[in-house]
Amino acid sequence: MFARSSSRIFNVINISCIQSRSARAWVRKPLGSPMAKSKMFRIAPKKFIPADEKAEVKRLYDNYFHQMKSLRHYFFEQSLEQAESGEVAQMKHRLEEEEHIRLMEENRLENEKTAKLREEKLKIQAEKTRENILASLINKEEETRLYEIQIEAFLEKQKATPFIQAENIEKAIEEALANPVDFNFAIDLDGYVYRGRETAIEKIPEEERERLRSN
């Protein structure tokens, strides 16, 4: 009996070893087996991870988390849309259609109101433009009339000015020689004017002398 129980214990201990023709292939040990004595009091060293590698791992994890969250939300929305394919979906569609029609009508009324205001504004601008053009034309006509009046007055003045005609040229020469005009003049320190090159100052009385007016 002792030999039979010993053989059973030996079989349990060597159950993780499978014999083959070439070599022994080791598999996982039984779950009930205790820790090996060589590893009983051994503490595994903690792996050191650099800060940049830790930040990169965290970034990748955050990206993965947000992407998976977006996918879950998308699939949830898809499932809701598929679930609303019945009467609720038809009612929702009808309400959306009614809302669309209402908004289109409101937009049409607003467009008509805007077009009416635009037409009124254009009419006011056209009226102002017409008035400005009319005022400009009136001013232009008035300026033209005044210019014509000035031209006529100048021509009348020129006509009234005596001109020497060809048949009167000899008479005009004789009158010019008989009545010479001397444009020379002199002014003394007291402001008296003496006209003519050969005028004698002492022969002119003081009360008849011409004097410049002071402002």
Q: Answer whether residue 48 shows pLDDT above 60.
A: yes
191 torsion bin: left (phi>0), alpha (psi -120 to 50), beta (else): left
Decide: residue 102, CB within 10 A, 0-12 exposed, 13-18 middle, 19+ buried.
Answer: exposed
Degrees, nearest 5: CA angle 197-202-206: 105
Q: Select the more confidently predicted residue: 210 or 105.
A: 105
Q: Select the more confidently predicted residue: 204 or 13.
A: 204
Where helices occur in 161-204 by DSSP H, the ranges are 169-178
> What's the pLDDT at 162?
74
Q: Which amino acid makes up residue 110?
A: E
Q: Which amino acid makes up residue 192?
A: Y
Q: Answer whether residue 59 shows pLDDT above 90.
A: yes
| Choice among 89-103, 115-129, 172-186 with the minimum mean pLDDT | 172-186
pLDDT digits (tens, 9 = 90+) for 64-98: 999 999 999 999 988 877 766 666 677 878 889 99
Q: Are 184 and 195 in contact (CB under 8 A)?
A: yes
12 torsion bin: left (phi>0), alpha (psi -120 to 50), beta (else): alpha
